[in-house]
Amino acid sequence: MAKWHGKACVEITDAKAEDVWPFLADFCSLNKWFPTLESCIRVEGVNGEPGCVRYCAGFKTHIEHADGNHFNWTKQKLLSIDPENMTFAYSIIDGNVGFNSYVSKVTVLPRADRCAIEWVYEVEPVEGWKLENLDQFISNGLNVMAKRMEEALKTGA
């Protein structure tokens, strides 16, 4: 089956890569950064080490569910992490949002006096979604993450 491939990238103008990387290297803190994500907890392994599994819940997607009690969730497994090159890869191993064979690589890219975060992914086509929906979901999420990280660095949070 053909997979969807996508990439989002956002510049962070007020931070260096080595300041942003620790936010992402903390694999189980995604709820601090990703919009509408209510919880992100470690359920297996050691945080920040390959094999670690996080449970992420409460995020919103473009799909409206008739059942008002619907609660989006995924389990995500850290596949690899390379602090020297400020990159990690993870996969979605379970969930109720239809992301099958989802694998993502997130990298902090150093720039002269700033940095960028790049999020590359592939996934089997998702029922009820178009590739543009997923691109927008990830791009919007990454933009909010960058703003929240910039603010955290400014306030020392």
pTM value?
0.91
133 in a structural domain: yes
15 in a structural domain: yes
Domain of 50?
A: 4-60+71-155
**CATH value at residue 147:** 3.30.530.20
66 in a structural domain: no
97 in a structural domain: yes
65 in a structural domain: no
135 in a structural domain: yes
Count how many domains the chain has. Answer: 1
Quick one: pLDDT at residue 98?
A: 87
Local mean pLDDT, 10-residue blocks, the chain (157 residues): 94 94 97 91 97 88 57 94 98 92 97 95 92 93 95 86
112 in a structural domain: yes
CB neighbour burial string for 56-89, b if at least 16 within 10 angstroms, e if fewer: bbebebeeeeeeeeeebebbbbbeebeeeebbbb
Quick one: pLDDT at residue 37?
A: 87
104 in a structural domain: yes
